A = this chain, B = another copy of it.
């Protein structure tokens, strides 16, 4: 089936553009149409940029020979839609609220980037704009990670900004994230003679009790306080309605402060569950370290001064951690309340989208 690539309204303001980006659904793995639309908009409206495509990631660079280069990046995928598309604007385009999947995480940021990429043909720094795929799924699929592995030269920069939702204020660093499976093994039997078997679902009880009673910690790092979280995100087990189950799996997501590495976070969980539920197998299925705030870099200082506001900690893991790994100082700055990301009533005050465009424009035109 041939589907026409949508035209994006890059000159009609960032609110209309956010809405247009959201209304091209792009759940992780299904980003192609939106990537095509962005690539097409750049090829038509931004002749001053070198545009490259890698999978469903797009890299667009100025080549002005400036002394410093910055990366400004955002992911174009979203979590699954849940009756929350197409978007709808409540109120007017200056003060209203835009509702729908992706309005917060993070097509508002992508729209700000796209509008400025098209308009700013002579920014104060050379800019590498990156829109990428597969951020909302397993770490090894991440489009920015793929670029870092296969084209690290494309990401070379002195500073990076990630347009993740941060209520239009600068958020430094990020928590790390670890996903583990706790696997129980038992022995099947007819449920009428349960004593002949060993119930693997029952064996998950102490681990689940630990999670239900766990008090997550708040940890200060470089002056910012990071709030942690330890949660079941999936549970499964069962063979048939009259069989004692021989297998059960509890999947746990640990969001940990950037005072520790992913390896240290893993050791912590291993100790925790070895004490509470020694008979379970613990298998790490996803792991990504956090990033310390990194607000002392000169470009970060200049950026904070230009956009204003007081920097805050970033709770969610974001790809600033990938820049941290490449040795590039990076911060989060984008429209939207991150606590509304992934919720069914995801929504953004349009003022925040406009504020981010203004902030980034001020910085990029005032070096």
Contacts and interface: CB of A to CB of B under 8 A. Distances in A.
Interface stretch (A36-44, A192-200, A258-266, A267-275): A192-200
A246 to B, nearest CB: 9
A212 B204 CA distance: 9
Contact of A202 (B136, B201, B211): B211
B245 A253 contact: no
A127 to B, nearest CB: 28
A191 interface: yes
Interface residues of A, number: 64
Of A192, A197, A235, A250, most B-chain CB atoms within 10 Å: A192
Number of copies: 2
A138 B242 CA distance: 10
A27 B205 CA distance: 32
Given A193-B338, A286-B241, A248 B235 contact: yes
Interface string A187-221: 01111111111010111111011011100100000
Interface stretch (A5-13, A69-77, A340-348, A354-362): A340-348
Contact of A241 (B191, B195, B233, B243): B233
A193 B226 CA distance: 11
Given A208-B202, A241-B138, A241-B251, A339 B229 contact: no
A274 to B, nearest CB: 18
A234 B242 contact: no
A235 B235 contact: yes
A213 to B, nearest CB: 8
A344 B194 CA distance: 15
A177 interface: yes
Nearest to A188: B343
A366 interface: no
A48 interface: no
Contacts of A317: 192
Contacts of A79: 240, 242-243
Contacts of A192: 175, 177, 229, 255, 315-317, 338
A244 interface: yes
Interface of A: 79-80, 105, 136-138, 175, 177, 179, 188-197, 199, 201-206, 208-209, 211-213, 216, 227, 229, 231-245, 248, 250-251, 253, 255, 286, 315-317, 338-339, 341-344
23 contacts: A79-B243, A177-B192, A190-B339, A190-B343, A191-B255, A193-B229, A193-B338, A195-B227, A196-B343, A197-B343, A201-B232, A201-B234, A202-B232, A205-B205, A205-B208, A205-B212, A205-B213, A208-B209, A209-B209, A233-B242, A233-B244, A235-B238, A236-B236
The 9 A-B pairs of least Cβ separation, nearest first, read A234-B238, A192-B316, A205-B212, A194-B229, A201-B232, A202-B212, A190-B342, A205-B208, A196-B339
